[in-house]
Structure 1
């Protein structure tokens, strides 16, 4: 009886270790797939990240700065860009501050928090980079062009980490 209880406890502990979400990650999940692949980058001690892309019309860089909130949501901190017009705001809305600094436009957000957003990996030769923890990830290289990905912060289990695609290179 004691061995059976010990064995059952061991199996339960193993299942918990395997299936309980523990690792906080940035996840990129295909939006239009029958069995969507999950690509992930582990969140390290630094809770800030940046997405830098080349605007497809202006051909200038747009830098978006974000932070992970304590409850695992995405806080948009600021956008910085060089050109106004299509897709890039020229003024602030409520809860925002718009300014021009050194030839660049800066839009700062007081408290814009998102659960997730969809990121299109366009099939054009323009930069799309994710920066976190001192590393730069070329999303055009890591993800499939022409696909859309749901981006969010998720805690993944050991099983999900093994099943998913680690973009950290490990």
Structure 2
């Protein structure tokens, strides 16, 4: 019995503090006590962020893929209007295609470790699509705040302390 108790005492910190679960994380920035919000990952590696452009008032679809070492690869961006804030030409490492009224900007090697996402206090769409779920970030996160978006492994402690997004 004593050996089992000692084993549990040794095992608990490992189970509690070692990161095992991969997740999409949104960590509040510019805060003394940042809150971590997360979406558990499955085997699916592709996801999208869809938002309504504040000037054109049309949807923009950004497509991403999680690659090894929890890095984020920007695959493409689709939109229907160019000009203010939306590119009308491709730069080096990009291709731009126009078909059926939609521009698709594809990226060859756009690899990111993380990025900051601002949740504007306006009534326009901002959603995170993963698998079959659609997460309305305007409802799930605090408007007017910025969040560091990363893909990382979480420990049981971080999961318990954080907030799981419901979708």
Q: TM-score, normalised by structure 2?
A: 0.96
Residues of 1 paired with 2:68 and 2:119: CA distance?
28
Residues of 1 paired with 2:29 and 2:142: CA distance?
12
* Deviations 1:94-114, CA, capped at 9 Å, x for gaps: 111111011110100111100
* Deviations 1:27-79, CA, capped at 9 Å, x for gaps: 00111110000000011111100000000000000000000002101100000
RMSD over equivalenced CA pairs, Å: 1.2
| Structure 1 ranges of 4+ moved more than 6 A | none
- How far does residue 6 in structure 1 lie from its aligned partner after superposition? 4.6
Structure 2 spans left out of the alignment, 5+ residues: none
Instruction: For 1:109-124, list aligned pairs within 5 A.
Output: 109-124=107-122
Instruction: For 1:138-157, list aligned pairs within 5 A.
Output: 138-157=136-155
- How far does residue 23 in structure 1 lie from its aligned partner after superposition? 0.5
- How far does residue 9 in structure 1 lie from its aligned partner after superposition? 2.7
1:75 matched to 2:73: yes
1:65 matched to 2:67: no
Q: Which range moves more in the overlay, 87-96 or 112-121?
A: 87-96
Aligned pair count reads 167
Residues of 2 paired with 1:71 and 1:65: CA distance?
19
Partners of 1:121 and 1:147 within 8 A in 2: yes
- How far does residue 14 in structure 1 lie from its aligned partner after superposition? 1.1
- 3-state DSSP of counterpart to 1:110: strand
Residues of 2 paired with 1:101 and 1:117: CA distance?
29
- 3-state DSSP of counterpart to 2:70: coil
Partners of 1:21 and 1:158 within 8 A in 2: yes
Q: TM-score, normalised by structure 1?
A: 0.95
- How far does residue 151 in structure 1 lie from its aligned partner after superposition? 0.3
Structure 1 spans left out of the alignment, 5+ residues: none
Of 20, 25, 30, which residue of structure 1 is paired with 2:18?
20
Quote the residue 1:48 is aligned against: 46
- 3-state DSSP of counterpart to 2:157: helix
Residues of 2 paired with 1:160 and 1:167: CA distance?
14
